[in-house]
């Protein structure tokens, strides 16, 4: 670095600690003296630019901010109240729906299955008499022919409800049938829960829930028809097939 | 019975803002004053700057970056103000500095007052980078980035700003020139 460059940089950045400027100062007495005068000038300049700050400046700035914040908060409050009400309503609604769903026949039927899972492995068909006795235990007299391929029958408690638990073989695959005497089902509805595919079907004097763990609702229509005929003595149109969709409105009888 | 102080919960964001204000309001005011030349306007600029900083507090990541960050906001506020009230904003050249409250100090008629009077006569293009450097501690590169200029151009502005100050102070202006070698 030469003296010209040093003085130019000294004029632009007098406080610079650059190594090349320091090195030049050490070897040039004139530039060292110029540097000292520049430092004195900078001290005076810094001191002069630090003018007095108005008293209470900080407090007034904080007051302006806190006032603005409060104004914003007031403007937001009605919206916050509405938002809080909506969240509360959604929470209550969600909880109510959860409680309602947990006590539905599909939910209770699926929850019942783990303790009866071995019944799916039975392949020996029961006699019609044995099946009729199973229904008789629930005070239900069968009015039609017992479907062939019924391999299991038991009077169970499914949640708080009395039920007849059956397993019917359809094309060799087991289909669980739970008949709930005197339980009302509003309409035919397919469902899927915890690996089970199911359908609930309304009947004149109770409700029927079918379950399979084979992934297809294909056998449900035939099984529902067969058991409706067995229980009621005739087949109703509303037990007809519902192969598509998760749910459907009640079909006209 | 002696009353206990009221304890209030203050959010971390609010605490940060209060600390920021207490630490930097003074420097911001000085910088604002050397930009606009009016005490009342400088105080308005500080308030606007701090309110804007509060709204954007989440973008401040490091405490060390706070001062340059605030000064950048202030510069933009000043530019906005200048655009809005072009006719109301005046050059320091026109300010009778002795009438301003900011000068009311014992040094008023001393050396510092002379430097302030000289500073007030510098055009904004010299005064602004000089204030950024002296008050804000910005380097040439940082000032260049702020002003959208090249570092070399900023270095020249700073050099000339000091040269003009010394001329006005009847100091030795040649000290700062490249002809002043001895």
Q: B49-52: which pairs have CB atoms within 8 A and are 24 or more residues apart? A: B49/B73, B49/B74, B49/B77, B50/A61, B50/A64, B50/A65, B50/B17, B50/B20, B50/B21, B50/B25, B51/A64, B51/A65, B51/A68, B52/B77
Mean local confidence (pLDDT), A135-159: 90
Which chain A residues are closer than 8 Å to B39 by Cβ? Answer: 54
The rounded distance, in Å, linking the Cα atoms of A230 and A238 is 16
For residue A247, pLDDT over 60 is answered with: no
Average pLDDT by stretches of 10, chain B with 182 residues: 59 87 94 92 93 89 88 91 61 45 46 90 94 93 92 94 91 46 32
Name which of A4, A11, A68 to mutate to probe chain B: the one with the most chain B Cβ atoms within 10 A of its Cβ.
A11
3-state helix, strand, coil in chain B (%, to 5): 75, 0, 25
**pLDDT for the residue numbered A90:** 92
Give this complex's ipTM: 0.78
Say whether A16 sits in a helix, a strand or coil. Answer: coil
Tokens 């006590």, located at residue: A103
Please give, rounded to a whole number of angstroms, the shortest distance from the CA of A201 to a CA of chain B.
58
Which of chain A's residues have a Cβ under 8 Å away from the Cβ of B18? 62
d(CA A36, CA A38): 5
Q: What is the pLDDT of residue B101?
A: 46
Number of Cβ within 10 Å of residue A204's Cβ equals 11
Instruction: With beta carbons under 8 A apart, name residues in chain A contacting B163.
Output: 11
So what's the pLDDT on residue A106?
Answer: 93
Q: What is the pTM of this model?
A: 0.55
Rounded to a whole number, what is the distance in Å from the CA of A44 to chain B's nearest CA?
A: 7
pLDDT tens, position by position, A53-70: 999 999 998 888 888 888
Does pLDDT of A153 surpass 70? yes
Q: Is A7 on the interface with B (CB under 8 A)?
A: yes
Q: Is the pLDDT score of A173 beyond 50?
A: yes
Contact B38, B95 (CB under 8 A): yes
For position A250, what pLDDT does the model report?
34
Pairing between strand A161-170 and A206-212?
unpaired
* Cβ atoms within 10 Å, residue A100: 10
How close A116 gets to chain B, by Cα (Å)? 57
Confidence (pLDDT) at A253:
32
Mutate which of A7, A14, A50, A51 to test chain B, going by most B C-beta atoms within 10 A?
A51
Q: Looking at the predicted structure, is the pLDDT value of residue A122 above 90?
A: no
Q: Residue B12: what pLDDT?
A: 82
Interface test with A, best of B8, B98, B159 (most A CBs within 10 A): B159
């Amino acid at each position: 670095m030469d003296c010209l460059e040093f003085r130019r940089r000294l004029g632009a950045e007098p406080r610079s600690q650059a190594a090349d400027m320091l090195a030049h100062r050490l070897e040039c007495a004139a530039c060292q003296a110029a540097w000292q005068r520049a430092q004195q000038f900078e001290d005076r300049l810094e001191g002069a630019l630090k003018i007095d700050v108005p008293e209470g400046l900080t407090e007034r700035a904080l007051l302006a901010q806190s006032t603005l914040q409060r104004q914003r908060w007031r403007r937001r409050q009605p919206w916050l109240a509405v938002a809080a009400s909506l969240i509360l309503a959604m929470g209550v609604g969600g909880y109510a729906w959860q409680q309602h769903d947990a006590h539905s026949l599909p939910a209770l039927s699926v929850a019942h299955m783990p303790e009866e899972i071995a019944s799916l492995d039975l392949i020996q068909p029961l006699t019609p008499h044995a099946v009729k006795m199973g229904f008789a235990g629930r005070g239900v007299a069968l009015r039609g022919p017992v479907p062939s391929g019924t391999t299991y029958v038991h009077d169970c408690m499914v949640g708080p409800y009395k039920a007849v638990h059956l397993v019917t073989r359809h094309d060799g695959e087991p289909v669980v049938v739970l008949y709930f005497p005197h339980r009302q089902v509003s309409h035919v509805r397919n469902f899927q829960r915890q690996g089970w595919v199911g359908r609930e079907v309304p009947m004149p004097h109770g409700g029927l829930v079918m379950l399979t763990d084979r992934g297809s609702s294909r056998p449900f229509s035939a099984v529902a028809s067969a058991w409706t005929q067995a229980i009621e003595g005739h087949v109703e149109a509303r037990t007809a097939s519902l192969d598509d969709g998760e749910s459907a409105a009640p079909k006209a009888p | 019975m002696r009353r206990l102080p009221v304890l209030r919960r203050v959010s971390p964001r609010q605490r940060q803002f209060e600390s920021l204000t207490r630490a930097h309001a003074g420097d911001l005011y000085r910088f604002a004053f050397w930009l606009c030349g009016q005490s009342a306007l400088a105080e308005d600029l500080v308030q606007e700057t701090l309110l804007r900083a509060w709204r954007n507090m989440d973008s401040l990541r490091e405490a060390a970056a706070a001062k340059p960050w605030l000064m950048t906001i202030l510069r933009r506020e000043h530019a906005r103000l200048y655009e809005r009230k072009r006719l109301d904003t005046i050059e320091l050249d026109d300010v009778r500095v002795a009438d301003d409250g900011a000068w009311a100090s014992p040094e008023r008629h001393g050396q510092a007052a002379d430097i302030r009077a000289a500073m007030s006569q510098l055009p904004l293009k010299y005064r602004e980078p000089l204030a950024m450097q002296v008050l804000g501690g910005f380097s040439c590169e940082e000032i260049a980035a702020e002003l959208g200029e090249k570092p070399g151009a900023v270095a020249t502005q700073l050099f000339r700003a000091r040269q003009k100050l010394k001329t006005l102070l009847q100091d030795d202006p040649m000290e700062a020139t490249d002809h002043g070698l001895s």
